[in-house]
Amino acid sequence: MKSEFAPPIGKITQINGQCISLIGNDIDTDRIIPARFLKCVNFDSLGEYVFEDDRETLKGKHPFDIEGNKHATILIVNSNFGCGSSREHAPQALMRWGIKAIIGESFADIFYSNCIAIGIPCFTLPKKSIQEIQKNMDNKFLFLEIDLKNSSAKSQDLNLNLEIKESSRKMFLSGEWDATSTLLENESLIENKCNDLPYLEFNNYSL
């Protein structure tokens, strides 16, 4: 888990960082964060336990335990990532470990939506492209600059045309994915609406 963790807020237009690769199809939410950690009162400590059982099995050889990956922020995955239960703890755990964006072949729908809701863009690339990226990462670190406006990513050797749902892309560029910030920015509109409602007392209430 990254000690400098800070959740994203507002508009997200660019994400730069080192990539970390997790090879395998159908990696489900129970592997991402095992069920015994769902009893937490808040999500703050979940980054410490992301992929806990897989990491225990691999005894320090899991990608999330390799020292050179400790500062990675962009996760590269294969198909149907985040399948299984709908637990929102899975993307929360990834974010608190330090993941800011995910690039994969495909994502489970609910996992994808949970990621968008907390500010983690999920991009797709064809299977061949993902496999080539993962193969190249066997020998060297990969640093990407992701441009949300143009749905692209580049490194010294790569220029990638990423796919992302247009509705999601617009939400990140406008900041509308961040429901809390959007709510606070429209406090006066909310007050006016509440004052117009005869059945709601809004005096002396503040967001």
What are the tens digits of pLDDT across the range 29-41?
Answer: 999 999 999 888 7
Q: What is the pLDDT of residue 4?
A: 62
If one counts the domains in the chain, the total is 2
Task: Judge contact between 16 and 146, C-beta under 8 A.
Answer: yes
Relative to beta strand 143-147, strand 152-154 is antiparallel
Task: Please tell me whether residues 27 and 50 are part of one structural domain.
Answer: yes
Q: What is the pLDDT of residue 190?
A: 66
User: pTM here?
Assistant: 0.87
Task: Please tell me whether residues 150 and 202 are part of one structural domain.
Answer: no
For residue 2, being part of any structural domain is answered with: no
Task: Please tell me whether residues 110 and 186 are part of one structural domain.
Answer: no
For residue 202, being part of any structural domain is answered with: yes
For residue 1, being part of any structural domain is answered with: no
Task: Please tell me whether residues 171 and 194 are part of one structural domain.
Answer: no
Task: Please tell me whether residues 123 and 189 are part of one structural domain.
Answer: no
Helix spans in 42-97 (H): 52-58, 89-97
Tell me how crowded residue 48 is: count the other CB atoms within 10 A of its CB. Answer: 12
SS3 111: helix
Q: What is the pLDDT of residue 1?
A: 47
Task: Please tell me whether residues 78 and 138 are part of one structural domain.
Answer: yes
Task: Please tell me whether residues 23 and 116 are part of one structural domain.
Answer: yes
Give me the amino acid identity at 70: K
Task: Please tell me whether residues 27 and 116 are part of one structural domain.
Answer: yes
Task: Please tell me whether residues 106 and 35 are part of one structural domain.
Answer: yes
For residue 5, being part of any structural domain is answered with: no
For residue 113, being part of any structural domain is answered with: yes
Domain limits at 203?
177-207
Which ranges of the chain have pLDDT less than 50?
A: 1
What is the rounded (10 degree) CA torsion for 74, 90, 2, 162?
10
Q: What is the pLDDT of residue 5?
A: 72
Task: Please tell me whether residues 132 and 194 are part of one structural domain.
Answer: no
